[in-house]
Amino acid sequence: MAGVAVAPVLLLLLLAVAGLPAAGGLGVNWGTMASHQLPPSTVVRMLQDNGIKKVKLFDADAEPLGALAGSGIEVMVAIPNKMLDMMTDYDTAREWVHKNVSAYNFGGGVNIRYVAVGNEPFLSSLNGTFLNVTLPALQNIQKALDEAGVGDTVKATVPLNADVYQSPKDNPVPSAGRFRPEISGLMTEIVQFLNQSGAPFTVNIYPYLSLYGNDDFPLDFAFFDGASSPVVDGNIQYTNVFDANFDTLVSALTAAGVGGLPVIVGEVGWPTDGEKHATAAYAQRFYTGLFRKLASNAGTPLRPNQYIEIYLFSLIDEDVKSVDPGYFERHWGVMRYDGQPKYAMDPTGQGRNTALVGARGVEYLPRVWCVLNANAGNMSRLADNVGYACSNADCTSLSLGSTCNGMDPAGNASYAFNAYFQVQDQDEQACGFDGLAVRTRQDPSTGTCNFTIQLETTSAAAGRPTVLLTTALLALVLAAMVTML
């Protein structure tokens, strides 16, 4: 499927003919937590080739912003959670706006429309770390935007996880949605401020996570093609978790006195590896239904007949993301690490069997792999070396239910060695492993498992981010080595 491509001009024509609001409303999240990144200019051209008009960033890094200059693409820049405390000082907030918003506000500059103040700062797992700083930071950033003369067109918002609202256990329906009791007062202040400033509420909704770790969750309810057991809420029947989740938020907003507050879905998507439900087939099924829904302007039962503005999560796989939430975290991209599409995907929602346009002019390292040396005599150090490789490279595709799970111990070892070899830019010394590895020009990939050739970049391997995996995955990989010792 990745080999099927539509010429950029033709794809844009199809979008225009279909009249899909996504041509102006569909956005993507552009994350950069990768050991080898595509040049920002390549990514921007890929966005343009696919008619993507909006992009959400996770910081305000100068390189992506420089590449976006003159593109016309609407941009949401971001202030990371670790900087929220700093933004409670107004002078600091004003300087941030001057450097990261006003500096790009010129003809041919960057079309910044939103500033994301933090990213899911009220997650339950963060134990209240940012409860006291998020609202003051939000207020200061919007005030600084207003003072800079851009507040009418650039709005400050806070991307929040869907765990900030819920329905009670004794009445688990969307119409009973309320903000979490322990943050209800704070959330009411925030949404009322957003309403006053003209900014939208930004929420991240993940139907996939409803399935992850919950074998009792009905599989079909995570998608958009009908559910065998819909959730009945009065006269409404909910057939998918996205609508139910969205309307739970709408009810919470109504209870807070701002029922008409615009809502942006800041992140929504489906991963393709790292867990049994994280597959390309499920991702394709999810997006097919999502795009069909968007194209119909169906809205949700509590907000019918309207287009929902969304940002897909995410554009490209990121191999150094934390796997604390799960091994799937590195595989959310609709594109592979090299900007090539993973599966057929039709953003028009018209059911066309087309693929997104992949990145052009991608440069790769030579077609050389590092694999287990079958002629190595002493294998006593194999487990240690595999453990070292997987502690410094991405081995999540070896986890249970993943694309490379099920290979024999030799295949596991080869995958781990090659992952490390590629992260280290194919440095000759990175394929040593106490004599247990050897370089080869014969592709060791299998039908389902891709042995990566990394991108050619200008960054030195010494400067690569560390790619740490959890003890659980290391134990899983190492257990398969026992039969070879």
218 and 224 Cβ atoms separated by less than 8 Å = no
Distance CA 332, CA 316 (A): 7
456: annotated active-site residue: no
Residues contacting residue 148 through CB under 8 Å, at least 6 positions apart: 94, 97, 98, 101, 102, 105
Task: State the sign of the Cα–Cα–Cα–Cα dihedral 51, 55, 60, 64.
Answer: negative
* Contact between 398 and 477 (Cβ < 8 Å): yes
Report the distance separating Cα 451 and Cα 453, nearest Å: 7
Residue type, 429: Q
Closest by CA to 278, choosing from 419, 451, 445, 400, is: 400
Tell me the C-alpha distance between 223 and 238, whole Å.
Answer: 12
Find the helix or strand (DSSP H, E) in which 300 lies.
strand 299-300
> Of 120, 309, 318, 329, which is the active-site residue?
120
Residue whose entry in the numeric block shows the structure tokens 């937590």:
33
CA angle (28 as vertex; 25, 34 as ends), nearest 5: 170
Question: Which DSSP symbol is given to 38?
Answer: P
Q: How many CA atoms lie within 13 A of 109 on its CB side?
A: 12
- What is the spatial distance between Cα 423 and Cα 417, in angstroms, rounded to a whole number? 10
Per the residue annotation, which of 63, 74, 267, 309 is the catalytic one? 267
| Residue labelled with tokens 């009445």 | 171
Helix axes 134-147 and 184-197, enclosed angle (nearest 10): 10
**Catalytic positions, written as ranges:** 120, 267
